[in-house]
Structure 1
């Protein structure tokens, strides 16, 4: 990659949301459900449509208009069972969320429920997924993607892969992992703040076996060698915080609940996180603000804030 000139001051104020499951399955035809999708449809019909609520998503959009982040990242599961019509609905919602240069999307396992043609599904989200160098160009495969914003590298991965009935696993695959390793090395050498985005938790011990990232150990090995400053994910529909060893340091890993969940289960109500990353003399300052849905006011509000300090060290010096 060409040399990137890091601005002064470098940093980014961005929002992370995940698992909005924003589509409806009303009007789906029986012939569309003669596969694993019938299980997802029944889950939506009797459970998920009561949990993932449009009024929560409307409140989310109102709050984002008030907090006004410079960028928004969405880590997958915009749909329920990955039908082409759902991709159309999700594209309309993304257009409301922001322009493609201000919104970065990666897919989740629900978006790849079964094998489907790229053209009728993910191609509709391409402007929100592709790397900066490929903006405006039809491209497959897209991942890993790289978008650089004011000294911050947003590195998108796809763990979305069809799985067997009753499974919600994900996989990156060897080709994507190899490209990621090189990308982390190159962006680290340039002194960028590297944020790795994926749907599944990277550590296999953080998720049930039937819902895990199958090559999570391989991913953690790559991160342990090449390094990153932050890893963000969704999938588990609950707040999660962990770390991945990188030499003498630890890479912070954050997972968040569904952005649309009304919260019938404790700890599962909708949240999104705001990050303010700022380059200082010898470190990156990272302020994390957690905003959650409030049943009483039917709006999002600040719930908690904390501060991180991440050393400015290239990946080659671990």
Structure 2
């Protein structure tokens, strides 16, 4: 039987195109974030990101999952540029985007409900969570992206989204599908500081402990991580990857993406994770493989 191969990358933080001056940005979080970008822009290089994207394309996965922070300031110009980048990456039916806090940095002037990226969010429905079924896999796409105050990078799902996700997870379980939850912010406790956390993570974990899931994918921490949260019968593995645009040899973990091979194994599934990461020479190489317990 052929394995379903899912690529996971996160925190692209595409360099912003030239942005016009707008008075509304002076009174928003965008102004401070632009100063921060000038200080930290060397940590995100589109040449690195494009090398990661080319490697993913060469591996020809069945689907690509991106867990947020596609852009930086949530301006209309950035949404348009990111849409072009996503279109070059692949058909919207083969790529799913879960937005991050930078994608919702400020509500003022930003496209409502991430409208330019709508084809990459889900197949049906008007709002999160979205369900996408691809082969034996059910992608439950959540959005933790909300505008926040200065110096905060928190996320929030809200009770309605968590309740709707519960129903989707139950439906997917009844269909015998491998359930992958996509969300930008970490789900396990103590992964990031309080100013960066998912504020209703306790409610999400309680729901997952009841319904279960086979895997959770997130970003935000800019680290390669394997954590777990409780499920109804066994712990649910939670995977994260470093930012997909971070050069090797600089600050932060170098860019990496994970290839997940999901194979039916009797009545269950077997999942093999292969990490592929950027080098100083801007090539992408195998960094190791393991099987999820």
TM-score, scaled to structure 1: 0.87
Decide whether the 8 Å contact of 2:124 with 2:130 is kept in 1.
no
Q: How far apart, in 1, do the equivalents of 2:180 and 2:233 lie?
A: 19
1:91 counterpart residue number: 83
Alpha-carbon distance, 1:68 to partner: 1.2
For 1:20, the equivalent position in structure 2 comes to: 12
Cα offset, 1:307, TM superposition: 1.2
| CA 14–30 in structure 1, closer or farther in 2 if over 3 Å, else same | same
Q: Which moved more, 1:97-106 or 1:121-130?
A: 121-130
Tell me, yes or no, if the aligned pair for 1:25 and 1:41 is still in contact at 8 Å: no
Say if 2:164 is the partner of 1:179.
yes
Instruction: Quote the residue 1:243 is aligned against.
Output: 228
What is the rounded CA distance, in whole Å, between the counterparts of 1:264 and 1:213 in structure 2? 30
Q: CA deviation at 1:308?
A: 2.2
Moved more, 186-195 or 109-118: 109-118
The 1:127/1:150 distance shift into structure 2, 3 A limit, reads: same
In structure 2, distance between residues paired with 1:52 and 1:68: 25
Unaligned runs of 5+ in 1: 1-8, 310-318
Q: Of the candidates 172, 181, 200, which is equivalent to residue 185 of structure 2? A: 200
In the other structure, the counterpart of 1:302 is: 286
Structure 2: give runs of 5+ residues left out of the alignment: none
Distance in 2 (CA, whole Å) between partners of 1:190 and 1:65 is 30
Name the count of aligned residue pairs.
292
Query: How far does the alpha carbon of each residue in 1:249-284 deviate from its partner, in whole angstroms, 9 at most, with x for none?
Result: 110000111000114656511000000101121321
Matching residue of 2:33: 40
TM-score of the aligned structures, taking structure 2 as reference length: 0.95
Maintained 8 Å contact 1:203/1:213: no
Instruction: Provide, for residues 194-238 of structure 1, a one-character-per-residue CA deviation record: whole Å limited to 9, x for no partner.
Output: 000000001232110000000001100000000000000000111
Query: Does the CA contact (< 8 Å) of 1:20 and 1:259 recur in 2?
Result: yes
Give the Å deviation of 1:120. 6.0
Contact 1:23 1:78 in 2 (8 A): no
> Does 2:270 align with 1:285?
yes
Deviations 1:75-118 (A, max 9, x none): 11001111110000100000010001100011000000011466
Give the direction of change, closer, same or farther, for the CA distance of 1:119–1:37 in structure 2 (3 Å limit): closer
Residues of 2 paired with 1:45 and 1:266: CA distance? 15
Match of 1:219 in 2: 204
Q: Contact conserved, 1:51 with 1:263, CA < 8 A, in 2?
A: no
Give the superposed CA RMSD. Answer: 1.7
Q: Which residue of 1 aligns with 2:70?
A: 78
Structure-2 residue corresponding to 1:169: 154
Give how far 1:33 is off: 2.8
Q: Does the aligned pair in 1 maintain the 2:129–2:141 contact within 8 Å?
A: yes
Greater Cα shift, 18-27 or 200-209: 18-27
SS of aligned partner of 2:71: coil
Query: Retained in 1: the 8 A contact 2:248–2:279?
Result: no
Question: Is 2:117 the counterpart of 1:133?
Answer: no
Please identify, of 9-18 and 195-204, the stretch whose mean Cα deviation from structure 2 is larger: 9-18
Offset of residue 65 of structure 1? 2.3
Distance in 1 (alpha carbons) for counterparts of 2:71 and 2:83: 11
